[in-house]
């Protein structure tokens, strides 16, 4: 049995009773955390890979990729197409996905290409100042002391009749868990890409990987997360922490394709498209808001606040983490959140925006209001849907006022970077000016 779906969309056709029973077993056995390879940093809480809605309709979640379970497979394709994903990835992470011969297909090799592009970009960026040669203590036994004397070990050696001492010296070495993880990931990606002569790697990576392999060997053991956490990086090598963890996760997914297996084990790899959309919106927003400063709320603790504070202890309750906060010289100008959802009306959200997203933005505006008065602006950014090219009603009627001091704007953002920057720049204009007082000012900003 092979099922194919599109992310964030109903399954077409809907599963038969036999297929639905398999999907329920899949849900009960699969934790998306075990299959999703993160694109950058920490991730939000995972959602189900597939789920059955309140009306009995089966939907695919926000992931793309392939997985297998009990001899059957599920493939989830991107609903906006692979070209859109390539554009988002290129803009969000400054990487170029490797071209393949023939037409693009939604299959395991393409998922591996995405992972390889992200991995290569992270590895080369981390190795800007060289490979992660870290200091470690090396014990030597001899008649001369090299470094510092290991008194305990030396006394035990002398007690056995030896005439030598044990000393410890510090030396820089590539022999550590991070190197093992990087080489292990390289071997997995290399095998699954199947591109001869390492043509999938830029020259810098082709130069560095053999240096690591000369220390780790061709097939090092994949380190555990605990072993990687023990690695102590210097300020210069700190960037290797994230690429080492990504490498560990790639290496542990040795079957990066959804190889059919008859056991109960789930295999495969998934990418979180909502995470990619968030990174794309953040990158475009930074270009559109220049020269203002845009902080990534999800990964910047300074932009994290509590909704409530205890009058007794001062402790906070209800963590608020918007995707982006726009700062100007006089403080916060706007709060933005990327939503990988439809802005058009649906059965679950007949007005377009979902109720929980509206409540979330209201909470953001309550805590991230600009200092010194003025209007608190909220921006909810959705992907433009080529299947429904008309302007969504929620966007057409923007801005929406919560009260005289707080307004919310909705927009369906184009997939092409240049168009997206132009769209956001027009929307941000009234938010970043001193006058935030009328719809005329908003419309002037949109049509500028």
**19 Cβ contact partners less than 8 Å away, ≥ 6 residues apart:** 1, 3
* Residue 41's pLDDT band (cuts 50, 70, 90): low
**405 Cβ contact partners less than 8 Å away, ≥ 6 residues apart:** 369, 373, 374, 375, 376
| Residue 234 near residue 129, CB atoms below 8 Å | no
Instruction: Decide if pLDDT at 110 tops 90.
Output: no
How far CA 383 is from CA of 36, 84, 174, in Å, comes to: 22, 10, 44
Q: Supply the DSSP symbol for 117.
A: H
Point out the least confidently predicted range of 15-24, 130-139, 388-397, 430-439: 430-439
pTM of the complete model: 0.74
- The pLDDT, as a whole number, for residue 301 is 54
| Torsion of Cα atoms, 363 then 367 then 373 then 375, to 10° | -30
The neighbour count for residue 188, using CB atoms within 10 Å, is 23
Per-residue pLDDT tens digits for 405-441:
889 999 999 999 999 999 999 998 877 664 344 334 4
Radius of gyration of the chain (CA): 26
Point out the least confidently predicted range of 46-55, 257-266, 403-412: 257-266
The neighbour count for residue 29, using CB atoms within 10 Å, is 12
- The pLDDT, as a whole number, for residue 95 is 59
> Whose CA is closest to 441, among 101, 394, 318, 429?
429
CA–CA separation, 41 vs 57, rounded Å?
Answer: 33
Helix (H) or strand (E) holding 170: strand 165-173
- The pLDDT, as a whole number, for residue 300 is 58
Of 97-101, 183-187, 329-333, the range with the highest mean pLDDT is 183-187
**Angle formed at CA 100 by CA 96 and CA 102, multiple of 5 degrees:** 140
**Tokens at residue 148, please?**
């510092």
Per-residue pLDDT tens digits for 376-387:
899 999 999 999
Count of alpha carbons within 13 Å of 343, Cβ hemisphere only?
Answer: 27
CA–CA separation, 326 vs 217, rounded Å?
Answer: 47
């Amino acid at each position: 049995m092979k099922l194919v779906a599109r992310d964030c969309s109903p399954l077409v056709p809907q599963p038969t009773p036999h297929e639905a029973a398999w999907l329920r077993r899949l849900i009960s056995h699969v934790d998306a955390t075990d299959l999703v390879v993160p694109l950058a940093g920490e991730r939000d809480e995972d959602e189900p890979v597939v789920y059955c809605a309140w009306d009995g309709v089966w939907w695919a979640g926000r992931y793309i990729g392939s997985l297998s379970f009990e001899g059957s497979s599920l493939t989830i394709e991107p609903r906006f197409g692979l070209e859109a994903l390539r554009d988002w990835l290129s803009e969000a992470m400054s990487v170029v996905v490797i071209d393949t011969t023939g037409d693009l297909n939604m299959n395991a090799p393409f998922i591996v290409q995405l992972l390889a592009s992200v991995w290569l970009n992270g590895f080369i960026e981390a190795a800007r100042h060289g490979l992660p040669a870290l200091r470690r203590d090396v014990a030597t036994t001899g008649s001369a002391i090299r470094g510092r004397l290991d008194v305990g070990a030396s006394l035990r050696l002398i007690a056995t009749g030896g005439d030598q001492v044990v000393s410890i010296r510090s030396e820089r070495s590539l022999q550590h868990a991070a190197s093992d993880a990087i080489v292990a990931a390289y071997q997995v990606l290399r095998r699954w890409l199947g591109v001869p002569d390492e043509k999938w790697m830029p020259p810098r990576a082709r130069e560095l990987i053999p240096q690591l392999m000369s220390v780790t060997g061709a097939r090092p053991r994949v380190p555990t997360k605990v072993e990687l956490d023990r690695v102590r990086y210097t300020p210069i090598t700190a960037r290797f922490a994230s690429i080492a963890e990504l490498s560990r996760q790639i290496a542990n997914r040795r079957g990066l394709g959804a190889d059919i297996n008859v056991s109960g084990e789930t295999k495969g790899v998934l990418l979180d498209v909502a995470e990619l959309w968030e990174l794309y919106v953040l990158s475009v927003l930074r270009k559109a808001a220049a020269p203002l400063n845009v902080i990534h709320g999800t990964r910047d603790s300074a932009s994290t606040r509590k909704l409530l504070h205890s009058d007794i202890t001062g402790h906070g309750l209800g963590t608020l983490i918007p995707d982006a906060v726009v700062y100007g010289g006089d403080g916060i100008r706007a709060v933005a959140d990327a939503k990988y959802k439809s802005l058009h009306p649906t059965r679950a959200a007949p007005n377009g925006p979902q109720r929980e997203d509206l409540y979330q933005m209201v909470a953001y505006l309550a805590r991230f209001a600009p200092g010194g008065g003025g209007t608190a602006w909220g921006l909810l950014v959705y992907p433009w849907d080529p299947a429904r090219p008309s302007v969504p009603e929620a966007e057409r009627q923007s801005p929406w006022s919560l009260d005289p001091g707080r307004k919310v704007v909705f927009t369906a953002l184009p997939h092409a970077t240049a168009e997206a920057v132009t769209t956001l720049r027009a929307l941000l204009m009234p938010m970043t000016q001193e006058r935030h007082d009328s719809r005329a000012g908003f419309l002037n900003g949109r049509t500028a």
